Amino acid sequence: MKILVTGGAGYIGSHTCVALLEHGWDVVAVDNLLNSSRESIKRVERITGGRIHFYQIDILNKPALANIFRQHKIDAVIHFAGLKAVGESVEIPFQYYHNNITGTLILLDVMKENNVRHLVFSSSATVYGDPDRLPIQEDSRLCATNPYGRTKLFIEEILKDIHSSDNSWNFALLRYFNPVGAHETGQIGEDPLGPPNNLLPYIAQVAVGRMPHLNIFGNDYDTPDGTGIRDYIHVVDLADGHLKALSKIFTNPGIAVYNLGSGRGHSVMEMLHAFEKACEKKIPFKIAPRRPGDVASCYADPSKAEKELGWKALKSIDDMCKDTWNWQRINPNGYK
C-alpha cells in the first residue's frame, strides 16, 4: 500500500509516518513546512531505517499536488495538513478557513481526478465545544466555538455530503482529544513555533528553562481540584489509531467517525505532578485567570473505536510525561 500523508512533517504526521513505515507501507509525505521542519522527516527515516518520498508543497497548489498523484500510485490519504491554533484562528479566520477548508477541497478534487477514494481525516474533540454530556460519545451534540473548530466541523459536513452524493468514497473522521508525548527515542516530538499554546509543551519548556513558570488557567472550575480536566492521549497510540482507521476504510464502510482518546480525564494539577515526577524537578507555576473559551471537563468515550477498529490507548500519563521530557531534554530547542 502507498499512503499519501499531508502534513507529514508535523507533530502527529511524523509519528504516523513512523507507524506506517514500521507496518511496511510506502509513504509519500507533503508539507509546506509552515509549522514544521524537514529535519523531522530525516529523523523518521533514521528511526525506522525506511524512506519517505517527501515533497515540500502547499496543498493549496493544485498543480503541484496533482503532479504527486501522477508520480505515485496512491491507495489512500491521511490528511493532517492544517492550521491548528485556536487563538490565532480568532485573529486570522480568513487564513484558517482558506488553508483548512480550501486545502481539503483541493485535495479531494485531485483525489477524485485520480480515482483515490479513501481518506482518513484529522478532526478534533473541539467539534464538541462545551460537551452536553460526559464521557463524550460520537453522537454527542456538535458545536464548535471558534474558527479553527468550525473548519473541522465544516470539513466533517463536507465529507458527509460528498459521501451522500457518491458512496464510492470512504472516510474515517478521527476526533482526537489532547495529543501529547513523543516517540520513545526522543528523536521526534512536538516543536511549537513561539510560546506553546498547549499544556504539556508549556510545562516541558518550563522544565528545560525556556519559560520561567506555568500559568494555570483557573483553579475554580467545578472539578475535584478546581483545574481543567482533559483526555490526554499519547501520540504513539494516536499514530496506531491511524493504521487501524486505514484498515477499516479499506473495508469500504462509507463514513466512519471515531473518538480517539483514552477515556480518562486528568486535571492540570495531575499533569503537572506527573511531569515533575518524570523530570525530577519542581515546576514553578502561578494561578492565572481562566482562559476564554476553555471548558471545565472534556473526555472521550472511546469504546466505538475499540469495538470497530480494535484500537485502544495503551500508554499512561506517566509514559506521556516521560516521553515528552525525554524529547525536550534531548532537543531543548526542538529541531533547531
Chain residues that interact with ligand WQD, rule: CB under 6 A = 84, 86, 124, 126, 178, 197-199, 202, 214-217, 228, 230, 268, 291, 294
Confirm or reject binding of residue 124 to ligand NAD (CB under 6 A): yes
Cis, bond preceding 179 (omega within 30 deg of 0):
no
- Shortest Å distance, C-beta 176 to ligand NAD: 4
Min. distance of Cβ 154 from ligand WQD in angstroms? 14
Pair 83, 100: CB distance under 8 Å: yes
- Marked catalytic residue, from 55, 96, 148, 202: 148
Minimum CB distance to ligand NAD smaller for 179 or for 228: 179
Q: Is 334 left (phi over 0), alpha (psi -120 to 50) or beta?
A: left
Residues in contact with 67: Cβ distance below 8 Å, sequence separation at least 6, in sequence order: none
Is residue 148 part of the annotated active site? The answer reads yes
Q: Which is nearer to ligand WQD, 141 or 307 (CB)?
A: 141
135, β-bridge pairs = none
CB 102 within 8 A of CB 60: yes
* CB-nearer residue toward ligand WQD: 178 or 187: 178
Residue 295 binds to ligand NAD (criterion: CB under 6 A): no
Whose Cβ is closer to ligand WQD: residue 14's or residue 47's? 14
Residue 309 burial (CB < 10 Å; 0-12/13-18/19+)?
Answer: buried
Length of the chain: 336
Is the Cβ of residue 137 or residue 226 nearer to ligand NAD in the bound state? 137
Part of the chain binding ligand NAD (CB under 6 A), chosen from 5-13, 42-50, 136-144, 271-279: 5-13
From 104, 122, 262, 326, residue interacting with ligand NAD (rule: CB under 6 A): 122
41 binds ligand NAD (CB under 6 A): no
Q: Are 305 and 172 in contact (CB under 8 A)?
A: no
Q: Using an 8 Å Cβ cutoff, are 19 and 242 in contact? A: yes
Closest separation in Å from C-beta 180 to ligand NAD: 8
Q: Which of residues 13-32 bind ligand NAD (CB under 6 A)?
A: 13, 30-32
CA distance 231 to 131: 13
Neighbouring-strand partners of residue 120: 78, 172
List the grid coordinates of 149: 473548530
DSSP state of 145: -
Using CB under 6 A as the binding criterion, the count of chain residues that bind ligand NAD stands at: 27
Which residues are near ligand NAD by CB under 6 A? 7, 9-13, 30-36, 58-60, 80-84, 99, 103, 122, 124, 176, 179
The residues annotated with a catalytic role in the active site are 148
